[in-house]
Amino acid sequence: MRSLRNILPLLAFASCGFVLVSFTIFYLSREGRWRGIPQTMGLGDYVQSPPAKPYFDADGSAPPFNISEFVPGKPKKGDGAQYSKTLVIAKTKSDNTTWVEEDVVGWDTAIYVVDDPTAPLHPPKNKGHEAMVYFSYIIDHYDNLPEIMAFMHAHRTGWHNEEIFEFDAAEMLRHLSLERVVRQGYMNMRCLWSPGCPDWLHPGRLHEDQNKKEEFLFAASWSEIFPDMQVPQTLSQPCCGQFALTRERVLSIPRERYMYYRDWLIRTDIRDTMSGRIWEYLWHVVFTAEYEHCPSPNACLCDGFGICFDNDVKIDAYYQTMWRIRDAKDELKKFIEADGALDEDARISLSLDELQDADLPDGDSQGILLTAEVEEKSAELQKQKKEALERGKDPYYRAKAAGRVYNEGDGF
């Protein structure tokens, strides 16, 4: 009995110690501070990476990482108000950017040559694609920024530009609403959601997706880029690293943080293409404090570019028709290459529906139907776009699409 009385205090002490250790492990795991042990999130397919020591340390302490509370801007009064604005472009020596000088009016330019250290503007290292240039411009000009900046790729045409503008970057800049940029502070210049929205990247996913190779790399890189922020379960915004910013939005973040981000690009072991791709899906985190930033395509096109379709359903139908025309043109090209020139006399003045029921020449029937489909649908899209541009001249439509209250006399 006496031995039992002697053992009981020891057992009680051991039990308390076990509870204390268990609680400590649970707490540290929950807070993401238990290094070396991946912490599960959700269904067990996500991990919380442990915070890493920051690469860049400007004054002996890490720059602040608390996301700012951004305040919407107020456009200048009066129609045609002028803003100082700069177009920032990342290019290689071989890229042709003469289109900027020839067709971009009213914008100052800052064209960085990534692979020429003797160029007047060049980044410290050719790495991270356009992200290195974007950060370098902000760091270099932080004390003398224009009111509005557009950050874009060097190529005038590319699939990442809006197809409704014939993929033309100069056309996009020509239609860009500076007033929306001011109100938003940050505006992604791609309105179409695909690729990037919704529910696009899952940063802690353990298994590589061949269609989103950058996704798998977020688990390791997130805690290096944002050491004080939890890994989100989802990151979403339309691709592809082209956006507009206001000076106020840039200055709401300390210069040291931009230096920290650029330093990560310089030091990371992640290969060049992927480190740049990672940043394509982080700009909205930095400049909107949102993990998922998927504005309505109608709001983006209407309020942002003055092309108003009334709603997202009509925009989707417009794009679906546009893509069908593209496919039909490809089919027609293959048909002509295989069977020779199409007999123009066989194309009679009938609608596509009428032609589908008509007795057509066997050899030309496919070509006739494809030609009619392209002509009819192209004419319909041209009409819809013209009407959308006309609606875009009315500030009421723009306000409605953006969900803003419209007051008589308000501009865009």
Give domain limits for the chain.
85-295, 312-342+349-392
Quote the CA–CA distance of 402 and 179 in Å, as a whole number: 12
**What was the pLDDT predicted at 246?**
97
For residue 83, give both structure tokens: 């803003």
Q: Give the pLDDT score at 38.
A: 28
pLDDT of amino acid 15: 53
Instruction: Tell me the residue ranges of DSSP E strands in 314-412.
Output: none
Contact 104, 173 (CB under 8 A): yes
pLDDT tens for each residue of 277-322: 889 899 999 999 899 999 999 999 999 999 999 899 999 999 999 9
Beta carbons of 250 and 73 less than 8 angstroms apart: no
SS3 for 396?
A: helix
pLDDT for res 112 = 97
- Residue 31: what are its φ and ψ, rounded to 5°? -85, 0
In contact, 150 and 182? CB cutoff 8 Å? no
Residues of the chain with pLDDT under 70: 1-68, 79, 206, 208-210, 213, 337, 339-364, 366, 409
131, burial (CB in 10 Å: exposed 0-12, middle 13-18, buried 19+): buried
Amino acid at 1: M
